[in-house]
Structure 1
Amino acid sequence: MIIPTFSPFSSSEVEELPHALLASQVTEKKLKNGLTVLVKEVYPASVVCISVWTGIGSVYENDHICGISHFIEHMLFKGTETRPVGKIAQEIHSLGGYINGFTSYACTCYWIVLPSRYFSTATDIMADALIHPLFNPEEIKKEREVIIEEIKMYQDRPESFCFERLMGLAYKNHRARRPITGYEEVVAKLSTRELIEFYRNYYVPDNMAIVVVGDVKIKRALKVMEESFGFMESGENTKDLSPDEPPQDGARSAQYRGDIGTSYFYTGFHVGGITSPDMCACDLLASILGEGRSSRLHQGLREKKALVTSIDASILALKDTGLFIIEAVMNEKNIEDSRIEVGKEILRIQADGVLPHELKKAKNMVESSYIFSQETVEGLCRKLGYYEMIGDFTLVDQYVRGLYAVTEEEVKAAARKYLVEQNRSEVVYLPGG
C-alpha cells in the first residue's frame, strides 16, 4: 500500500493526467477569525461530508502527556451544555447520517456524512460538539477506562504489537516512536486540567480547517460555516515540535514471543519526510517490492518459494520523517530464509534497477488508488483535509504529478540510498512464551 506523499515536481515536467485533479474546483476561504474552509461541490448523490481538522496529534505531545490528543478526540462527542451525553450521535443518526473521528501522528479529524438536506443542522451539531465540550469529570473517568482497554486491545493484535515495537526500535528521539494512543500509565494520570488546557491551546481557528464535500452550494456552505464557526475565538498556535531523529548508524533488532498462532516479521528503513525529493521514488519502490500479488516479494517469497503466508511493503510518511516498512506473516521455521530472500530482492534492485513495465504498473496502481479515493464524499474530504494539514490541499495533485515524473534510475537510487543494513530495524514476533 502506498501512503500519500508530496513531491515538488511541477506539472510541466510530466504528462497531463487523464482525469480530473482532486484539488480542482475547490473554493478556499478564511473566516474572519482565521479558520480555513474548503468547499468542493460534487453530486454523486444527495449527500455531504463535513470534516473538521485540527493540526494536533501525538508528535506534538511531550512524554508526560502522550496520548492526550487521542483522549480529547474521545471527549468531544461526550456532551455539551445543550446536548447531554449520547445526544450528539443520536441526533446525527436520526438524520440518517453517521459521525466519527480519528487521531493521527500530526492531526485529529472529526467528520459527519449525511443527506445534504440536513447540512445546516449537522454543521450546528458539529460546531456545538467542538466548541462547547463539557469535559465532565465523570465522563473523563469512563472514557479513560475505554481508552486503556483500547490500548490493551492493540497489544493483543499481532500486527499492532509489531508495528508499535518497530516504531519504538527505529526511532529513539522522534515522537513517532510512541503509539498514538499513548501509554496506559500516562493516560491513567492525565488530569481534567491538562485535557482542558491542551484543548484550549490547540483547538483554535489558526490551527484548524473545515472541509465540506458534496451536494451543497459553495455560497451556502460558506455562509453556514461563518454562522456556526465564525465566532470561535482566535488564539496562539505554538506547537511543541518533536525532536529530530539522528541518522541510524547500525542495524537494530528485537525478538518477542507471545500467545499467537504464527510468526510475524517486520523490518523498517528510515526515509525522508513527505516533502523529501526522494519520496515519490520510495513510494513506487514500495509498490514494486510489495504491493499486490504481482509484486516482487509476493511472487518470490509466497508464490515461488512458499516461505510466507503474506508479505507487503508500504511507507509511513510524516512531514519530517518516514519509514519504509516490509511486513510478513510466516511459519517460525521460515524466518531466516525469508530474511535472506528479502535481502536478495533488495540487492537485485540496487544492482539492476527495475523494469519499465514494473514502474509503469506501480504508477498505474497509484493512479487507480487516487481515482478511487474520489468515489465518495468522505474519501475526498479525507484527502483534501490531510494535505491541508500538511500545509496546502493542492499538494495532493502535486504528489500524483511527482509520481509520474519518477524514472527507473531514481527508483534504483532510492533503494541504494535507503534500503541499507545500517539503516535497518527489525522486529520478529514468535509463538510461545
Structure 2
Amino acid sequence: MNGVYESKLYLNYFMTSISSIVKENGLVIATDKIQEVESVTINILVKNGSRNETEGNNGISHFLEHMAFKGTNTRSATNIAEEFDMIGGQFNAYTSKTATVYYAKVLKNDLSKAIDILTDIFLNSTFDAEELEREREVILQELYMTRDTPDDIVFDYFQEAAFGNQPLGRSILGTEEFIKNLTREELVNYFKNQYSTKNTIVSAAGNFDVAAFHGLIEQKFQDFNSNETNQYKLGKYIGGELHVKKPLEQAQFLLGFEGVSYLDDNFYDSQILSVILGGGMSSRLFQEIREKKGLVYNISSFSSSYSDCGVFGVYAALDSKNINLMIDLLTEQLHYLTKNINDKEIDRAKAQMISGILMSMECTSARAKKISNSFAMFGRYISNDEILNEINKVSVQSLTNMAKKILSKNNITLTTLGNIENIYDYNKIVDKLKF
C-alpha cells in the first residue's frame, strides 16, 4: 500500500443522499436516505452534557435523560415500555460530556410510530415525583456499579486528575449526595433552561420518505422552547496525579498528556498516532509489553478530543508488582515514537481507521449518529470523502511532529487504582519522559 486510499472505490457501493435544513427556530433536521435497507434510525441529540453543568448540579443531565422514559402527559412509564415493545426495534438514550442523545431503530413501516413516542418522551415528560424517587434508586445503583468496576471508574479518576475542578473533570453520573437530594423543581428548571430548538439536532438514516419525515418533525417541535441555552466554559488541561488505594487483584494504570481539539488542523495525526502506539494487536505497546514481555493483561492508547482541548493517553491493567517495569518499557516506547515511525505502520493504522469508517456505513444507527455528531461538532455534515482526504494527508513527518508536541509537555496525568505499594513518583516519570 502507498498510504493513499481512493475513497470512491469504497463509497460507490454505499449510495447515500444527505439532506439537512436549519429551521427559523434553530432546530437542525438532517437525513440520510438509504434505499437498500429495511430499517430506520432516528436520533434526537441535544448539545448538552455533563460539561454544561456546574459543580452544584453535576449529574443532572444524566438524571434528566433517565426521567424521559418515566411518563409524559399522555403516556405512563408502562405505556411507553409497552408501545416500544409492540413495534420491536431498539430504543434508548445516553449522556456524554458534551451531549444527550435519545434514539430509536425500527423497521421502516414503524417510523411514524417511533417518531411519535420518541418526540413525546423528549418534549412532554412530566418528571412525575413518584417516578423520580424510583429512578433515584436506579441511578444510585448505576453509580455503585461503576465504582465497583475498576476499568470504568479509573477513567473518571483520570479525568479528575487531568482537568481538576472543571466540568470535564467531573463524572457524568454526578455524586451520591447530589443524586440523593435532587428535586423535581431543579430537574424541570434545568430542562427549560438547557433543552431548546437552538441546541437540538434531529437526524434519521434509513429507508423512509424524507419529505414526510421533515414534516412530522417540524410539526412536533413547532411549539418547543427556542430560547438560548447556557453554554459551557472553555476547558483547560491541567495534569496531575491521583492514586486510589483499593484491595484489587489487578492494578489499573493511566498515563496522559495534553492532546488536541477535534478542530485542530492535525486532529487526524493524533488519532493515527494513537493507533500506531496502542490501537490493536499489531500496535507497539501490545506487541512489546504484552506479547513479548507478558507484563500486562490489557494495554492500549487513546486520543480524546473536545472542541477546545484534548487528552492523549495510555491505559494498562496489570499485576501491581510489574508496574515500574511496565513504566520503563512504556517510556522507552514513547521516546521511540518521537524518533522512528515508518510508512508500513502508518498504512496499517490508516487501514484500521478507514475500515471502521466504511463498515459503519452498513448500519443505519451509525449513519444517523454520524450525521447528528457532524452538525453538533462542526455545524455541517462532514462526508467520508472529506475524512478520508484528511487521513491521506498524514505522513511520517506530521506524525513525528505530533508525537514530539504531545510528549514535550511536563504536565503529565498519572492515575492508578488498586493495591499498589511502590510506584515511581510523578517527577521521576516526568524525568524519564524528557527527550
TM-score, length basis structure 2: 0.91
Report the 3-state secondary structure (helix = DSSP H, G, I; strand = E; otherwise coil) of the residue aligned with 1:395.
coil
In the alignment, structure 1 residue 118 sits paired with structure 2 residue 81: no
Residue identity matched to 1:260:
L
Taking the aligned partners of 1:20 and 1:350, their CA distance within structure 2 comes to 34
In the alignment, structure 1 residue 291 sits paired with structure 2 residue 279: yes
- State how 1:374-389 maps to structure 2 within 5 Å: 374-389=361-376
- State how 1:266-305 maps to structure 2 within 5 Å: 266-305=254-293
In the alignment, structure 1 residue 170 sits paired with structure 2 residue 162: yes
Residue identity matched to 2:349:
A
Q: 1:125 to 1:373 in 2, by over 3 A?
A: same
Q: Is the 8 Å Cα contact of residues 47 and 116 (structure 1) preserved in structure 2?
A: yes
Q: Is the 8 Å Cα contact of residues 97 and 168 (structure 2) preserved in structure 1?
A: yes
Q: Is the 8 Å Cα contact of residues 101 and 110 (structure 1) preserved in structure 2?
A: yes
TM superposition shift of 1:19 = 2.5
Q: Is the 8 Å Cα contact of residues 251 and 420 (structure 2) preserved in structure 1?
A: no
Report the 3-state secondary structure (helix = DSSP H, G, I; strand = E; otherwise coil) of the residue aligned with 1:99.
strand
Shifted more, 125-134 versus 394-403: the winner is 394-403
The match for 2:253 among 265, 274, 278 is 265
Give the match for residue 129 of structure 1: 121
Q: Is the 8 Å Cα contact of residues 76 and 130 (structure 1) preserved in structure 2?
A: yes
Taking the aligned partners of 2:299 and 2:16, their CA distance within structure 1 comes to 36
Report the 3-state secondary structure (helix = DSSP H, G, I; strand = E; otherwise coil) of the residue aligned with 2:229.
coil
The match for 1:363 among 337, 346, 350 is 350
Report the 3-state secondary structure (helix = DSSP H, G, I; strand = E; otherwise coil) of the residue aligned with 2:252.
strand
Taking the aligned partners of 2:266 and 2:311, their CA distance within structure 1 comes to 13
Q: 1:132-169: CA deviations, max 9, x gaps?
A: 11011111111111112111111110111211111111
Residue identity matched to 2:142:
E
TM superposition shift of 1:327 = 0.7
Taking the aligned partners of 1:15 and 1:293, their CA distance within structure 2 comes to 22
Which portions of structure 1, spanning 4 or more consecutive aligned residues, are displaced by more than 6 angstroms? none
Residue identity matched to 1:267:
L
Q: 1:156 to 1:52 in 2, by over 3 A?
A: same
Give the match for residue 7 of structure 1: none
Give the match for residue 226 of structure 1: 218
Structure 1 residues without counterparts, runs of 5 or longer = 1-13
TM superposition shift of 1:173 = 4.7
TM superposition shift of 1:364 = 0.8
TM superposition shift of 1:193 = 1.2
Report the 3-state secondary structure (helix = DSSP H, G, I; strand = E; otherwise coil) of the residue aligned with 2:339.
helix
Q: Is the 8 Å Cα contact of residues 16 and 34 (structure 2) preserved in structure 1?
A: no
Residue identity matched to 2:227:
G
Q: Is the 8 Å Cα contact of residues 290 and 298 (structure 2) preserved in structure 1?
A: yes
Q: Is the 8 Å Cα contact of residues 204 and 368 (structure 2) preserved in structure 1?
A: yes
Give the match for residue 60 of structure 2: 68
RMSD of the TM alignment (CA)?
Answer: 2.0
TM superposition shift of 1:387 = 1.9
TM superposition shift of 1:15 = 6.2
TM-score, length basis structure 1: 0.91
Report the 3-state secondary structure (helix = DSSP H, G, I; strand = E; otherwise coil) of the residue aligned with 1:423.
coil
Give the match for residue 171 of structure 2: 179
TM superposition shift of 1:393 = 4.2
Give the match for residue 415 of structure 2: 427
Q: 1:23 to 1:76 in 2, by over 3 A?
A: farther
TM superposition shift of 1:298 = 0.5
Report the 3-state secondary structure (helix = DSSP H, G, I; strand = E; otherwise coil) of the residue aligned with 1:404.
helix
Taking the aligned partners of 1:375 and 1:140, their CA distance within structure 2 comes to 38
Give the match for residue 56 of structure 1: 48
TM superposition shift of 1:290 = 0.3
Shifted more, 80-89 versus 55-64: the winner is 80-89
Identity %: 26
Q: 1:244 to 1:224 in 2, by over 3 A?
A: closer
Q: 1:272-324: CA deviations, max 9, x gaps?
A: 21101222111111000001111000110011111111211111211111111
Taking the aligned partners of 2:36 and 2:178, their CA distance within structure 1 comes to 45
TM superposition shift of 1:37 = 0.6
Report the 3-state secondary structure (helix = DSSP H, G, I; strand = E; otherwise coil) of the residue aligned with 1:64.
coil
Taking the aligned partners of 1:427 and 1:109, their CA distance within structure 2 comes to 30
Taking the aligned partners of 1:332 and 1:347, their CA distance within structure 2 comes to 23
Q: 1:57-87: CA deviations, max 9, x gaps?
A: 0111011001111111001111011101121
Residue identity matched to 1:244:
G
Residue identity matched to 1:234:
S
TM superposition shift of 1:245 = 1.4
Q: 1:357-395: CA deviations, max 9, x gaps?
A: 111111111000101221211111112112211133423
Q: Is the 8 Å Cα contact of residues 27 and 38 (structure 1) preserved in structure 2?
A: yes
- State how 1:303-322 maps to structure 2 within 5 Å: 303-322=291-310
TM superposition shift of 1:270 = 1.2
Give the match for residue 403 of structure 2: 415
Q: 1:64 to 1:215 in 2, by over 3 A?
A: same
Residue identity matched to 1:373:
S
Q: Is the 8 Å Cα contact of residues 211 and 384 (structure 1) preserved in structure 2?
A: yes
TM superposition shift of 1:410 = 0.9
In the alignment, structure 1 residue 212 sits paired with structure 2 residue 226: no
- RCO higher in 1 or 2 (8 Å CA, sep ≥ 6)? 1
Give the match for residue 332 of structure 1: 320
TM superposition shift of 1:247 = 5.4
Taking the aligned partners of 2:356 and 2:277, their CA distance within structure 1 comes to 17
Q: Is the 8 Å Cα contact of residues 237 and 310 (structure 2) preserved in structure 1?
A: no
